[in-house]
């Protein structure tokens, strides 16, 4: 994606506004980041600089590069990739003597949902691994990335140099959120891909039995797996916005990460307390496991849509709060 | 390394006619470059805003949330093309002022204009023309020096990505970091980090360079190189705004200066004028300090201070030779006699009535 931007900007010498707009939306999610800077320096006296609107994506590309080249990010992804391996190997060892983990329907037993079906179909390891990592591993990794986004830069002092470059506060915030979103997606896909590889290696692949009991082909099963991965990634967007907001509050990256992960754990615990049932539908994690509904036939959309609405609400509320805080804050670090 | 001044245009020092025939080819006295060759104050005509102030603040005030008044009604005017020294002890409000000028901190009241545009409102238009080093360098330790610069350049939406690589290489070369460009920044020494910070400020041609304590942490050789670089940048027409707590640094490099103390502006103007504001001292070096002091007082000299082997006083408004004559007539053994030039430090002490915290 970023390479395409580079080519586009290099190819068109001075793209007109129309061209730029035509190219922008192709980038989907991040098109918004380009909007502010198109008005950056018109009519500056003595300024021969007529920046291409596409140059603004340079920061996003740089941010993605910096994030995914960091040892810390790679370590988080490695941990996430290891979870399906452990689950797969554990199930393989457990069942190697011929016994089975409860041969009943989906979602039963003590383990994560779908774990019983893994031995008969390796594709179910994808669903199991996502169900196992979604409550804690995935959101923790997102909390680390989101919490560190602004606070980590402030802590290192690099924030002031980015801002006098000038990155622009709104642009920087959008780039940080976009990068966190990309991380949500990459992290989820890493879990899914690792699970698929381990599942295919240790168990047979074949027709998939849905929760509703119908059977669907392997191709459609894979399609459902991709949908589920996207759903899981989307489930993390609310937490990402929350983490970004926390990150604008402090100059300590560690404090922001700890606060975000602490909030995650707190909400997860509160979600288990029956007396708080009136509040629970507003917890960002409440509908997380609704992704299992994608394995019904036909798909049961109610909770899935409620989950997406809730994530959008969190993103809007905490995104605005982060914007309000970050654009007015004195940068003293 | 050693830059030899061209032989001919240098005004021949007086003793040359005497010593000229003597030296053998091997022992030619290499004209050592002056420790700090002070060029005539460069006033380069800057096309877009000549005559206008590059930085102009009016009643600029910052009160932090704790109630502490960091900057108090500051009226600063930095002429275009100047090398402007911003002087004051640690904690006098210099950095807060710079942060307000760079749009990082919102003023409590008052206005700040940079390159003729209001800050922080016009940050996006102004800052691409400004290179800054604020409170020391800050780098991504896990990135190489080159990648650090690539990152800062990518943050500027007006920076052309097609020329990024060459501009980064040029900036690294300019601060002498090319050999270390591929090393991780966390392995850099403080001096190298400082240079990399300067390189970031020089990624593009700038109209204003804001340098907060640029020689902090550098060895004397590094300091000289940075000062030479500052002069070079200034000679290209860039206005340089240089904060420092080192008086001699300001005196060596700057054409103009402002003095801050406790958040307030105490003085500003051309360095020569500021220094001239404080008068020099008459200094008599003698073993007979008692007699010398008596004679000086008899000659109507005020503020006579007796030190060890030295007597100083306010210089009189008349012929100094009369005083030497009087000293000799009184049998005072004089080792040295003369006027000590007023330094900026004297000016500062005269202005603030306090010493200067020369740390580091």
Residue A170 banded pLDDT, cuts 50, 70, 90: very high
Three-state secondary structure call for residue A220: helix
A17 reaches B (C-beta below 8 A): no
What are the chain B neighbours of A55 within 8 Å (beta carbons)? 157-161
pLDDT at A137 over 60: yes
Task: Give the pLDDT score at A190.
Answer: 95
Task: Give the pLDDT score at A110.
Answer: 52
Nearest chain B residue to A62, by CA:
B151
CB atoms within 10 A of CB A78: 11
What angle do the packed helices A137-156 and A71-95 form, to 10 degrees? Answer: 170
Cis peptide leading into B120, omega within 30 of 0? Answer: yes
What are the chain A neighbours of B161 within 8 Å (beta carbons)? 6, 9-10, 55, 58
pLDDT at A168 over 50: yes
Cα distance between residue B278 and residue A138, in whole Å: 68
Answer whether B157 sits within 8 Å of A6, measured CB to CB.
no
| CA end-to-end distance (rounded Å), chain B | 27
Task: Give the pLDDT score at A50.
Answer: 64
pLDDT at A53 over 80: no
Question: Could you tell me which residues come within 8 angstroms of residue A331 by beta carbon, excluding any fewer than 6 positions away?
Answer: A154, A159, A160, A163, B99, B104, B105
Which of A41, A51, A158 is facing B140, going by the closest CB pair? A158
pLDDT at A280 over 60: yes
Answer whether B154 sits within 8 Å of A61, measured CB to CB.
yes
pLDDT at A240 over 70: yes
**Which has more pLDDT, B192 or A19?**
B192
Question: Could you tell me which residues come within 8 angstroms of residue A286 by beta carbon, excluding any fewer than 6 positions away?
Answer: A271, A280, A310
Class of residue A275 by CB neighbours under 10 A (exposed 0-12, middle 13-18, buried 19+): exposed
Query: Min CA distance, A177 vs chain B (Å)?
Result: 16
Answer whether A6 sits within 8 Å of B161, measured CB to CB.
yes
DSSP B270: E
Q: Which tens digit of pLDDT belongs to each residue from B260-297?
A: 888 888 888 888 777 766 667 788 888 888 888 888 88
Answer whether A331 sits within 8 Å of B47, measured CB to CB.
no
Average pLDDT over residues A79-85: 93
Is this prediction's ipTM beyond 0.90? no
B19 reaches A (C-beta below 8 A): no
Nearest chain A residue to B139, by CA:
A158
> What stretches in chain B show pLDDT beneath 50?
1-50, 356-360
Residue A19 banded pLDDT, cuts 50, 70, 90: very low
Token pair, residue B264, equals 């307030």
What angle do the packed helices A218-235 and A124-133 form, to 10 degrees? Answer: 10
Residue A18 banded pLDDT, cuts 50, 70, 90: very low
Element (H, E) at B281: strand B281-285
Three-state secondary structure call for residue B62: strand
pLDDT at A299 over 80: yes
Average pLDDT over residues A138-166: 93
Q: Which of A75-79, A306-310, B1-5 has the lowest mean pLDDT?
A: B1-5
Cα distance between residue A207 and residue A297, in whole Å: 14
Cα distance between residue A46 and residue B30, in whole Å: 45
Q: What percent of chain A has pLDDT over 90?
A: 48
A56 reaches B (C-beta below 8 A): yes
Q: Which tens digit of pLDDT belongs to each residue from A186-236?
A: 999 999 999 999 999 988 888 888 888 888 888 888 999 999 999 999 999
Interface of A with B in 106-135 (CB under 8 A): none
Mean pLDDT, chain A, rounded, equals: 81
**Which has more pLDDT, A6 or B141?**
B141
Element (H, E) at B79: strand B77-79
Instruction: Look at strands B208-212 and B239-244 and give their pairing.
Output: parallel
Nearest chain B residue to A11, by CA:
B162
Nearest chain A residue to B206, by CA:
A47
**Angle formed at CA A136 by CA A133 and CA A139, multiple of 5 degrees:** 95
What are the chain B neighbours of A40 within 8 Å (beta carbons)? 124-125, 157-158
Answer whether A45 sits within 8 Å of B48, measured CB to CB.
yes
Token pair, residue A32, equals 């918004």
Cα distance between residue B168 and residue B201, in whole Å: 11
Whether A86 and A92 have beta carbons less than 8 Å apart is answered as: no
Answer whether A168 sits within 8 Å of B124, measured CB to CB.
yes
Give whole-number Cα distances, A58 to A221, B81, B155, B158, B162, in Å. Answer: 38, 32, 7, 10, 11
């Amino acid at each position: 994606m970023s390479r395409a931007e580079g080519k586009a900007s290099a190819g068109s010498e001075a793209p007109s506004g129309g061209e730029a707009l035509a190219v922008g939306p192709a980038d989907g999610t991040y098109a918004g980041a380009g909007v502010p800077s198109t008005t950056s320096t018109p009519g500056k006296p003595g300024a021969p600089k007529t920046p291409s609107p596409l140059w603004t994506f340079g920061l996003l590309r740089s941010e993605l590069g910096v994030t995914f080249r960091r040892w810390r990010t790679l370590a988080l992804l490695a941990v996430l990739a290891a979870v399906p391996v452990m689950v797969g190997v554990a199930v393989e060892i457990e069942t190697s003597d011929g016994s089975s983990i409860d041969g009943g329907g989906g979602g039963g037993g003590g383990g994560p949902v779908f774990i019983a079906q893994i031995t008969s179909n390796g594709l179910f390891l994808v669903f199991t691994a996502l169900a196992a990592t979604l409550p804690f591993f995935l959101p923790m990794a997102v909390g680390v990335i989101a919490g560190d986004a602004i606070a980590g830069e402030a802590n290192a002092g690099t924030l002031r140099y980015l801002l006098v470059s000038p990155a622009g506060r709104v642009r920087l915030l959008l780039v940080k959120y976009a990068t966190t979103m990309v991380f949500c997606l990459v992290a989820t896909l890493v879990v899914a891909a690792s699970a698929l590889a381990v599942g295919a290696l240790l168990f047979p692949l074949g027709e998939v039995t849905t929760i509703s009991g119908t059977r669907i082909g392997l191709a459609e099963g894979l399609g459902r797996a991709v949908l589920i991965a996207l759903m899981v990634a989307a489930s993390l967007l609310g937490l990402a916005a929350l983490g970004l907001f926390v990150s604008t509050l402090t100059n300590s990256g560690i404090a922001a990460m700890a606060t975000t992960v602490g909030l995650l754990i707190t909400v997860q615990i509160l979600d288990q307390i029956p007396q708080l049932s009136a509040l629970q539908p507003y917890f960002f994690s409440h509908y997380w496991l609704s992704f299992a509904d994608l394995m019904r036939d036909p798909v049961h959309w109610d909770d899935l849509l409620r989950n997406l609405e809730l994530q959008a609400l969190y993103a809007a509320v905490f995104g605005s709060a982060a914007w309000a805080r970050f654009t007015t804050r004195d940068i003293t670090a | 390394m050693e830059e030899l001044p061209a032989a001919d245009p240098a005004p021949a020092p007086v003793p040359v006619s005497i010593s000229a025939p003597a030296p053998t080819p091997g022992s030619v006295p290499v004209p050592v470059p002056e420790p700090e060759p002070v060029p005539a104050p460069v006033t380069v005509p800057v096309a877009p805003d000549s005559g206008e102030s590059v930085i102009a603040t009016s009643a600029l005030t910052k009160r932090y949330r704790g109630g502490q008044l960091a900057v108090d009604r500051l009226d600063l005017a930095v002429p275009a093309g100047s090398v402007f020294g911003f002087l004051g002890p640690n904690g006098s409000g210099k950095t807060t002022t710079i942060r307000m000028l760079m749009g990082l901190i919102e003023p409590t009241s008052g206005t700040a204009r940079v390159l003729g545009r209001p800050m922080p409102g016009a940050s996006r238009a102004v800052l691409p023309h400004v290179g800054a080093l604020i409170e020391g360098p800050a780098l991504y330790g896990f990135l190489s020096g080159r990648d650090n610069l690539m990152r800062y350049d990518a943050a500027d939406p007006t920076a052309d990505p097609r020329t990024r690589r060459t501009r980064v290489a040029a900036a690294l070369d300019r601060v002498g970091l090319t050999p270390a460009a591929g090393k991780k920044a966390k392995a850099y020494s403080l001096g190298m980090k400082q240079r990399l910070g300067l390189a970031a400020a020089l990624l593009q041609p700038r109209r204003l360079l804001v340098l907060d304590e640029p020689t902090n942490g550098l060895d004397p050789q590094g300091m000289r190189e940075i000062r030479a670089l500052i002069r070079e940048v200034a000679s290209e027409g860039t206005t340089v705004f240089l904060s420092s707590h080192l008086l001699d640094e300001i005196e060596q490099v700057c054409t103009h200066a402002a003095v801050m103390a406790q958040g307030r502006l105490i003085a500003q103007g051309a360095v020569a004028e500021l220094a001239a504001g404080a008068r020099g001292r008459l200094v008599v070096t003698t073993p007979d300090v008692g007699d010398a002091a008596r004679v000086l007082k008899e000659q109507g000299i005020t503020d006579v201070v007796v030190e060890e082997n030295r007597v100083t006083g306010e210089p009189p408004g008349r012929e100094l030779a009369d005083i030497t004559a009087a000293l000799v007539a009184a049998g005072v053994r004089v080792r040295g006699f003369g006027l000590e030039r007023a330094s900026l430090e004297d000016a500062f002490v005269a202005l603030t009535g306090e010493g200067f915290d020369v740390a580091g």
